[in-house]
Chains A and B, each alone.
Chain A
Amino acid sequence: KAGVTQTPRYLIKTRGQQVTLSCSPISGHRSVSWYQQTPGQGLQFLFEYFSETQRNKGNFPGRFSGRQFSNSRSEMNVSTLELGDSALYLCASSRGGLNTEAFFGQGTRLTVV
């Protein structure tokens, strides 16, 4: 059974640019959540999508957005990149119900210079 796939693994961008990250969940999983991980703040919830609908959103500026496609694959976009956006971005796949288990991808390491 294939795991959660995130692409790309590494990305270097310049301040002011925008970036799109991709996540393919485990087959059969309809929920995809995104998290930002930094040394200072740890893992912070960005948003969750279920069946193409955003069900929940964390406390991040509007520059962070996402979407989910009919095949459950998800993308997140960050516009007008800032140095502080440098982080490991993680995607989690789950069936989406309460108490279901979340499985993470390897993450995308974004560096903004």
Chain B
Amino acid sequence: TQLLEQSPQFLSIQEGENLTVYCNSSSVFSSLQWYRQEPGEGPVLLVTVVTGGEVKKLKRLTFQFGDARKDSSLHITAAQPGDTGLYLCAGGSGAGSYQLTFGKGTKLSVIP
């Protein structure tokens, strides 16, 4: 069974601070996707990384896929209240099918 461990589970920071969320597994994934979810809504895709060592930037968000494709990180620079939400990492796998394995998520609160 493939598992993804996310840390930290909860994060409360002041506006303007930087933060990093980690996503780790003992399994290799073919891709890693990051989502943000608001309460009562579906997850919204932020980015997909597929190559080991890949780094992608989305404004103040930087995503990295580990060289061995077992881990990933999300770094937010100068966090804003609008960044508040549940951040989920999801590993893609499955030969001949499509399945995402999700971490439990990191609940981020950015205090103005």
Contacts and interface: CB of A to CB of B under 8 A. Distances in A.
A and B bound?
yes
A31 to B, nearest CB: 5
Interface residues of A, number: 31
Contacts of B50: 99
Interface stretch (A11-19, A61-69, A71-79, A102-110): A102-110
Nearest to A104: B42
Q: Is the interface of A mostly helix, strand, loop or mixed?
A: strand
Contact of A99 (B30, B41, B44): B30
A56 B98 contact: yes
B83 to A, nearest CB: 19
A104 B44 contact: yes
B63 interface: no
A106 B42 contact: yes
A1 B22 CA distance: 33
Contacts of A48: 94, 97-99
A100 interface: yes
Nearest to B43: A104
Contacts of A50: 97-98
A88 B99 CA distance: 18
A38 to B, nearest CB: 11
A48 to B, nearest CB: 6
Interface of A: 4, 6, 31, 33, 35, 42-45, 48, 50, 55-56, 58, 88, 90, 92, 94, 96-107, 109
Interface of B: 30-31, 33, 35, 40-45, 48, 50, 88, 90, 92, 94-105
27 contacts: A33-B99, A42-B102, A43-B88, A44-B102, A45-B100, A50-B98, A55-B94, A55-B98, A56-B97, A88-B40, A90-B42, A94-B98, A96-B98, A98-B92, A98-B95, A99-B30, A99-B31, A102-B45, A102-B90, A104-B35, A104-B42, A104-B43, A104-B44, A105-B42, A107-B40, A107-B42, A109-B40
